[in-house]
Structure 1
Amino acid sequence: MKKISFILFLFSCFAFTQHKQLLYNFTDIPQSLLSNPGAEVNYKWHVGIPLVSHIHLNAGASGTSVYDLFADNGVDFNEKLRRVVYSMDRNDFFTINQQLEIFSGGFAIGPSYEKNKYLSFGLYQETDIHFYFPKDYAVLAYEGNRDNIGRVFDLGDLNAKGELISVLHVGLTTKLNKKWTYGFRGKIYSSILNFKSTNNNGAFLTTEGTNNIYNHTFDLDLAFQTSGYASLIDLDNDGQNDWNGKAIKELRKRVLFGGNLGLGFDLGFTYHPKEQWTVTGSIQDIGFIHHTKDVETYTLKGAYTFEGVNPLFPNNGSGQTAAAYWEEIKNTFEDLFELDTITKNYTSWRSPKLNGSVSYKYGKKVLKECNCTADDGDYLNEVGLQVYAIGRSRRPQTAVTAFYYRRLFSFLSGKVTYTADSFSKTNIGLGISSHIGNVNFYLMADNLLEYQNLAKANYASIQLGFNYIFPLAKK
């Protein structure tokens, strides 16, 4: 249990979904190729500024917010906790995603007269944690079992997974003709840390006892799979600071081919059925990681019956003390529940992501010299609709986004989005991309209406980065 608590704490430290509706098809930015390898590219080459070319932080809770529990509104904390417990169900979830691009780049290839292919590559680190609200666990913890005689609590409500990985990738984007562009990206995953507990079953039942007041029945089939952290626990150290340094050094070794490995790929396309209409689609992270190194799985299986420990609290003080009573309960539970630790290999599948969009462009730039439109210029405005889905262990997580893109100046463009998803129906996002010389800087944020009080937000996301692009195509 000590090890399990550590892994949950370690991953929660990253607490700052993978939906990137602002970045998707924002083709002024090279990182849009990561969400659609078939996005259109209009530059000869680019290089991301190492460690700052793409920084992404994203966290969400579908059924509650920090404000619901800790608002200074005169409501008793126990009442706020009760409201949260009963307002959520087992399909509500919490999700955290973080990405840091370590390096990236790309360049056009093909015949000198028509470089119609673009080769892109890079390495990024990603943290992804997703867990469902364990409804029956929460109700049992809040109410206890005294008033729930005969109620069966579903212990299969425990469903969580998380990973810390690095991804080395190479993609090829091909412009087939004016209508079609398609792309493919291959990926090698290096798992740094991983935990998974998604196929749990079990029940807990309290009935009237025979030898004691209550009879507790457990029917358990629980498993918690981990890789990459057991060796961290066992590091020799001369104190916390020494352990921290050794742990960081060990994690760095796993960033590139140093941990458990896997393979995956992305596919995408852009299609223009007519000049001003665009249809896009992509699928990301069709892949897996096979865990063979530093693997530990904790299992708890079997049917158990527990009638409690009869207290011997005499009035004369010569019997069992309260401390001894609780120590006996602890020892009884340790003897009753046999937590097995095994080192069997396992495979974790990536969470696949789907994107699709349809959009319409309009409004070409007007030339002052002749008061006419520039025939060779691109359209300044674009409106459209985007859909998104990510596969999760119980059900897909989906979102729908309406967006408006505008080229404000030759060096500045912006995108505004409205998104409806599991977190919010009032998610307004804003992204800007600037090109000063050949330097590209972009900044994007979601759920802006909640920024005046982030504690009330069910969801928050920010993305930013710097690239060097040469040459930037004139619009």
Structure 2
Amino acid sequence: MKKITFIFLFLTCFAFAQNKQLLYNFTDIPQSLLLNPGAEVNYKWHMGIPLLSHIHASAGSSGVTAYDLFADNGVDFNEKLRRVVYNLDRNDYFTINQQLEIFSGGFAFGNSYEPNKYLSFGLYQELDVHFYYPRDYAILAYEGNQNNIGREFNLGDVNAKGELISVFHVGLTTKVNKKLTYGFRGKIYSSLLNFKSTNNKGSFITTEGTNNFYNHTFDLDLQLQTSGYASLIDLDNDGQNDWNEKAVKELRKRVLFGGNLGLGLDFGFTYHPKEQWTVTGSVQDLGFIYHTKDVETYTLKGEYTFEGVNPLFPNNGSGQTADEYWQEITDNFEDLFELDTITNNYVSWRSPKLNGSVSYKYGKKVLKECNCTGEDGDYLNEAGLQLFAIGRSRRPQLSLTAFYRRQLFSFLSGKVTYTADGFSKTNIGVGLSTHIGNVNFYIMADNLLEYQNLAKSNYASVQLGFNYIFPMQKK
């Protein structure tokens, strides 16, 4: 149990949803190419500072906050727990996403007088965990079955998936003309850990019994697919600390093509129908991972009936003890439920992401030396709308963002967003990007209105990074 707990903590230690509306279209920052390989590039080359070029962590809950359970407001905890159990429905969800860029870079090439192509590449690590609220399980655990005789509980409510992967990628961005830029990015995925349990079916019902007070009937078709776990749990060790060190070493080996491998593709574009109008779009992570190493799938399938155990507690020194009674229940359950473990290969599909935006630029820069406006396309302000969607096992998750971007000074630009999604209708975010010499630093945070009390927040997201950028010479 300690080993499983460590794995879970390892997966979540960086986490504080995957929508990066502050970074999308923020083309001063090279990492915007990860969201749209067809974003416009205005520098000769860039290099990300290793392990510091992009750090992102976010977490969200669509229907409950820590404040709902632990607020010091005079309401009894049992009452707060009851509200949470019944107020959430099976389509409420929880999500954790984290990214760490290990290295990245890129350079322009093409026409000698004005390069029209940009090659970008890198390696990053990503954690993504998503699960839906198992409502009937929660109600059964909260109420028990004594007051639910004849009620059928849906055991198919379990729906969860998670992965820890590394991604090596190479992208090519092509500027066709002043109006159109497009790009593609190829990816090689290496899965460090994976679990998936999404296509479950089943029911549980308690009825009046014949041989005992109650009959408990299970109709089950449950499955959990995993890869990367079994070898970690079975590591030889001389104690918990020794196992922790060996587990981390094993995971590191899988980062660069050492895990289960897969392929993916991103593509996107930027189009200017008129000088001041911009339309963009991108699709990310059209891909899969084929799991062949360290694979274990657990299945529980069939119809089972359990009538309980007739207790024969001690009477004048005869009968069974309470310990023997509970041991008999345990043995009966182990005999009743046959958990099959198989090692068949399986495919996990990435969660595809869609971005689209339309924006309007205005307010040309005034040049002091000539008291005249800047070149075409040299605007200080940009305002627009962005749509984001990510595919999930039950339904897509959508968000809509209104944004305003401003060139504050020659070395500093900022972006403000207002986002409505499944987590919040009042998500205000702010991002800043600085260019001091050739060093770029950016920092961005979402849902700022809730930062005064994070316990009340349904969602939090932070991203930051450092890059070295060599700008394009203006003709």
Q: Which bin holds the TM-score, normalised by the shorter protein?
A: over 0.9
Answer yes or no: is the 8 Å Cα contact 1:296–1:341 preserved in 2.
Answer: yes
1:234 matched to which residue of 2?
Answer: 234
2:425 matched to which residue of 1?
Answer: 425
Structure 1 residue 326: Cα displacement: 1.2
**Structure 2 matches for 1:186-335, cutoff 5 A?**
186-316=186-316, 318-335=318-335
Give the Cα–Cα distance (whole angstroms) in 2 for the partners of residues 232 and 64 of structure 1: 33
**TM-score with structure 2 setting the length:** 0.97
Give the Cα–Cα distance (whole angstroms) in 1 for the partners of residues 19 and 457 of structure 2: 16
Give the Cα–Cα distance (whole angstroms) in 1 for the partners of residues 8 and 206 of structure 2: 29
* CA RMSD between the two structures: 1.7
CA offset digits 1:127-149 (Å, max 9, x no partner)? 00000000100010001111111
2:354 matched to which residue of 1?
Answer: 354
- More displaced, 160-169 or 12-21? 12-21
Structure 1 residue 16: Cα displacement: 3.1
Answer yes or no: is the 8 Å Cα contact 2:275–2:377 preserved in 1.
Answer: no
> Is residue 128 from structure 1 mapped to residue 128 from structure 2 by the alignment?
yes
Structure 1 residue 72: Cα displacement: 1.2
Give the Cα–Cα distance (whole angstroms) in 2 for the partners of residues 315 and 364 of structure 1: 94
2:83 matched to which residue of 1?
Answer: 83
**TM-score with structure 1 setting the length:** 0.97
Give the Cα–Cα distance (whole angstroms) in 2 for the partners of residues 215 and 48 of structure 1: 63
Structure 1 residue 96: Cα displacement: 0.3
2:141 matched to which residue of 1?
Answer: 141
Structure 1 residue 368: Cα displacement: 3.9
SS, match of residue 130 in structure 2: strand
Give the Cα–Cα distance (whole angstroms) in 1 for the partners of residues 6 and 212 of structure 2: 36
Answer yes or no: is the 8 Å Cα contact 1:11–1:162 preserved in 2.
Answer: no
Q: Quick one: which amino acid aligns to residue 276 of structure 1?
A: Q
1:381 matched to which residue of 2?
Answer: 381
Q: Quick one: which amino acid aligns to residue 400 of structure 2?
A: V
Residue ranges of structure 2 left out of the alignment (5+ in a row): none
Aligned length: 475
Give the Cα–Cα distance (whole angstroms) in 1 for the partners of residues 140 and 10 of structure 2: 26
Answer yes or no: is the 8 Å Cα contact 1:365–1:377 preserved in 2.
Answer: no
- More displaced, 261-270 or 321-330? 321-330
Give the Cα–Cα distance (whole angstroms) in 2 for the partners of residues 6 and 51 of structure 1: 23
Structure 1 residue 357: Cα displacement: 0.1
Q: Quick one: which amino acid aligns to residue 101 of structure 1?
A: E
Answer yes or no: is the 8 Å Cα contact 1:429–1:446 preserved in 2.
Answer: yes
Answer yes or no: is the 8 Å Cα contact 2:447–2:460 preserved in 1.
Answer: yes
2:102 matched to which residue of 1?
Answer: 102
**Structure 2 matches for 1:111-190, cutoff 5 A?**
111-190=111-190
Distance 1:332 1:321, change over 3 A: same
2:52 matched to which residue of 1?
Answer: 52
Q: Quick one: which amino acid aligns to residue 96 of structure 1?
A: I
SS, match of residue 31 in structure 1: helix
CA offset digits 1:275-302 (Å, max 9, x no partner)? 0000000000000000000000011011
- Sequence identity percentage: 84
Structure 1 residue 376: Cα displacement: 5.1
Q: Quick one: which amino acid aligns to residue 152 of structure 1?
A: E
Distance 1:235 1:126, change over 3 A: same
Give the Cα–Cα distance (whole angstroms) in 1 for the partners of residues 5 and 411 of structure 2: 50
Answer yes or no: is the 8 Å Cα contact 2:276–2:377 preserved in 1.
Answer: no
Give the Cα–Cα distance (whole angstroms) in 2 for the partners of residues 8 and 155 of structure 1: 24
Answer yes or no: is the 8 Å Cα contact 2:164–2:191 preserved in 1.
Answer: yes
